Structure 1
Amino acid sequence: MRRIARRTARRSARLLTGTALAVVATAGFAGPAHGFGPGAGAGSLQVYPSTAVPGGQVSVNTAACGDGAAATGDAGAVGAGRFPLAPGAQEGEAVGRFRVPPSAQPGTYEIVAECSAGGRRVSGDLVVVLATDQQPVRPRGSVKTGVGGALGPDPVQTAAGVAALAVAAAGGTWLLHRRARGDGI
């Protein structure tokens, strides 16, 4: 009986280990999640961050212009005007930056780039939000979940409850250990 239990435990451990390794191996091939990297959107203009606040800096890149090609960007829709895109660190990529004007209003704006060679035109979207729109909302107060509070706020009662749980856990462990050894209950 013990041999069967050990074999089952080993099989379960191998299965879990194999599954974990498969997940890790697969995750290594997933590539960038935000689409701002080598080969991402070869026919489009990548805008990063895609959501910005007035006064914030935005980077754009594209692989649409080919190796060593430059481009001219136009963020006139948001009020930032034209800006240059130069060959970037990644091969075949043109990169540029501009600052969102402090007077920019919230909304979605089209950012455009035109390749110097061939005149190809690509675009991407930039969402402008106010700084207060982007702040995370932090919860306040308490939430009635039905968990806790059964013993009250008294620290002595809380300690007694924790002690009772510890005794129950120790007793359960002892009984399982006796059962596994074959001593009976």
Structure 2
Amino acid sequence: MRRTARLLTGTALAVATTGLVTAPAYAGNTSGLDVYPSTAAPGGTVTVNTAACGGRGTAAGDATAVGAGTFTLAPSTHEGEAIGQFRVPPSAQPGTYEIVARCAEGDKRLTGDLVVAVATAGDQVQPRGSVKTGVGGALGPDPVQTAAGVAALAVAAAGGTWLLHRRARGDGI
């Protein structure tokens, strides 16, 4: 018992320490483009922001690599940051895509990466369509046919029970 407790405590401590070491701290990225969330599912909304375009700077965003087209980054309520959004197209394929922004003032080109995944944490993908297993599906979803099948099974069960009861009494078949 003590060995198990020690093992669990050590594992929990290792997980907590790893989480602290690998957890990124937010400190405004002044030289690039922040993409949030950095991993998105097709159909999701992505927010892009930067502090590299100056206090009242705007920028032209380009997400054509993922198929989302262009978007605008405008000054936000956060001092010195420009922010914009785009939607990942439902037809986007999984992979890593470069998102680009060009500041309106100057010739500054900023980049950030977006990873498109089938599903992100917390999202659930619902299955669609049928599975071709070769089993079942002969009657289809018709309620009348389903009721007839259930009735046939009930009659077979009742008949089997009656035959077993007669045999147990010695009446024969």
TM-score range, shorter chain: 0.5 to 0.7
**Shift in Å, 1:88:** 0.7
Aligned to 2:95: 107
Secondary structure of the structure 2 residue equivalent to 1:72? strand
Name the SS of the counterpart of 2:65 in structure 1.
coil
**What's the CA shift for 1:119?**
2.0
Query: Cα 1:68–1:34, aligned 2, differ >3 Å: closer, same or farther?
Result: same
TM-aligned CA deviation for residue 121 of structure 1: 0.6
Matches of 1:60 and 1:66, distance apart in 2:
15
Which of 62, 71, 74 aligns to 1:74? It is 62
**Does the residue aligned with 2:31 lie in a helix, a strand or coil?**
coil
Which runs of structure 2 are paired with 1:32-181 in the superposition (5 Å)? Answer: 33=24, 35=26, 40-131=28-119, 134=121
| Counterparts of 2:115 and 2:43, CA distance in 1 | 13
Q: How far is the alpha carbon of 1:76 from its aligned partner? A: 0.5
**Whole-angstrom CA distance in 2 between matches of 1:40 and 1:135:** 26
- After superposition, the CA RMSD in angstroms is 2.3
- CA shift for structure 1 position 34: 5.4
Q: Secondary structure at the match of 1:61?
A: strand
In the alignment, structure 1 segments of 5+ residues that lack a partner are 1-31, 137-185
- For structure 2, the 5+ residue unaligned runs are 1-22, 124-173
Write the deviation string for residues 73-122 of structure 1: whole angstroms up to 9, x where unpaired. Answer: 00010000100000011111000000000000000000000000002110
Deviations 1:124-175 (A, max 9, x none): 00000002x7569xxxxxxxxxxxxxxxxxxxxxxxxxxxxxxxxxxxxxxx
For 2:115 and 2:55, the matched residues in 1 are separated by 29
Aligned to 2:15: none
For normalisation by structure 1, the TM-score amounts to 0.52
Separation of aligned partners in 2, 1:135 and 1:116: 37
Task: Tell me, in whole angstroms, the C-alpha distance in 2 between the residues paired with 1:34 and 1:104.
Answer: 29
Moved over 6 A (4+): none
Separation of aligned partners in 2, 1:40 and 1:58:
17
Query: Deviation string for 1:16-75 (max 9, x for gaps)?
Result: xxxxxxxxxxxxxxxx9453xxx5110010000000000000000000100101000000
TM-score, length basis structure 2: 0.55
Q: Distance in 1 between matches of 2:102 and 2:55?
A: 15
